[in-house]
A and B are shown apart, each in its own frame.
Chain A
């Protein structure tokens, strides 16, 4: 199952490394990644494959959100279907 991870917040060193570490530790493969920094505001979007994920989706989502909270980042993981449903016919 494909999902989209988004990380939004103030830029700092090692954001991608921290997020990827959590994903890797849980068996989630990163398929695509893009990021921009605008006025110190960091936005990263990753497409990931969660089919081999070793924990429940909710748990992974909580883990990422908790990691974000430590450093005032908003980290979300959402199934990609929601974006496709909304923007593609």
Chain B
């Protein structure tokens, strides 16, 4: 029998250290919804999503109740819409976003991702139409998330797409100025996007995936932080071991929930994404873990090394605990969703340049960062280009989810509420990148892309 201590330890993890399953995400292929008529395409999309995901939320809630583990989000990811809608002769792509929104609301999920385009080398006509529709699509829906992949290690960086995305981020912010630029919180610009990521806002269902699949994202920064408190002053070998053991336990739970959900929904199990995803709640912070390692305030010298250790140890511990690990897997560093990161930014220890360095070693990239509302589109595009370069050269996924906070200045805050939290407006460099971004074209793939 399981010992008393083990039972109490699990309950404390859930109760006091915010251990949860962050998301059960159902990936649904919409490739068979293609149609020359947009209304007919929307009809097929709505029917397919509401049919396949009809029991998703209820199943999540049942598992939650039986295992006593919170499952914070139930979500849907779909095939990138630029592929699904490519055959539609006319019509506005924002109508498809509104259809996704309606289908998501009907099934009761928190978010639906996949209003996406993959343009890492160049655009199709459909990609351009989709990207043009992004601001309107996000401003006129509540649950739809959008992502655009602008670079890969294999193909380099599509700088025309980078420029375009800088403009779309600005436009999305303008259209949702009354809610602090909320549309930007649902828009991710990727390099090396993955096809099986269950986390929003960047989830989409890749074309290499099954018809329908269940991916699960686990979390637990609070659990890791708690475990590290017990090894204060110990050398880093002990720190790494402790994180690995904790990540193992957390992932085992994710694997159990993923298999159970897959069985009950009769949908194949895809991957467990073993990410440390913080929430704004106190005690559920990645920054706290870094500070626990001995940094006075997150962002100070040593932060990148601490994060590198954390990210690596989480993967090493988790990978042995699940039969199939995928998605983004590692440590997320969203600023607005992490009480410790917010505090660091407000104290001035965490600045954009340091965050950029941290994205070289974390699981994704610049996430949920607010910049002043008067930041030029070219500057935002240049931030995206820098981040894409880090991803492309280092063979990793990077992303930018940046909020050009309407009418806000450095030092103010934008509040989104819920899991999206609140973002302190951070300064950007005042020197122009406009000429650089104006060049367009493609930054070639690095030499190490030629691996055959």
A78 within 8 A of B: yes
A4: contacting residue among B2, B62, B252, CB under 8 A = B2
A83 B66 Cβ-Cβ under 8 A? no
B65 A83 Cβ-Cβ under 8 A? no
Q: Roughly how many angstroms separate A5 CA and B417 CA in the complex, as a whole number?
A: 35
Interface size, A (range): 20 to 34
> Which residue on chain A has the smallest CB distance to residue B69?
A82
A58 B65 Cβ-Cβ under 8 A? yes
Name the B residues within 8 Å of A84 (CB-CB).
2
Name the B residues within 8 Å of A57 (CB-CB).
62, 65-66
B65 A45 Cβ-Cβ under 8 A? no
Name the A residues within 8 Å of B255 (CB-CB).
85
Q: Roughly how many angstroms separate A47 CA and B7 CA in the complex, as a whole number?
A: 11
Q: Roughly how many angstroms separate A8 CA and B2 CA in the complex, as a whole number?
A: 18
In whole Å, how far is A72's beta carbon from the nearest beta carbon of chain B?
15
Q: Which of A34-48 contact B (CB under 8 A)?
A: 34, 36, 43, 45, 47
In whole Å, how far is A41's beta carbon from the nearest beta carbon of chain B?
12
Q: Roughly how many angstroms separate A76 CA and B62 CA in the complex, as a whole number?
A: 15
Q: Which of A71-87 contact B (CB under 8 A)?
A: 74, 76-87
Name the A residues within 8 Å of B4 (CB-CB).
34, 36, 43, 45
Q: Roughly how many angstroms separate A58 CA and B61 CA in the complex, as a whole number?
A: 9
Q: Mark A1-30, 1 if CB is under 8 A from B, else 0.
A: 000101010000000000000000000000
In whole Å, how far is B372's beta carbon from the nearest beta carbon of chain A?
45
B249 A47 Cβ-Cβ under 8 A? no
Q: A32-B1, A83-B7 known; 9 other A-B pairs, CB under 8 Å?
A: A4-B2, A8-B11, A45-B4, A57-B66, A79-B68, A81-B67, A87-B2, A87-B6, A88-B2
Query: Which residues from chain B sit less than 8 Å from chain A, CB to CB?
Result: 1-4, 6-11, 15, 62, 65-69, 249, 252-253, 255-256
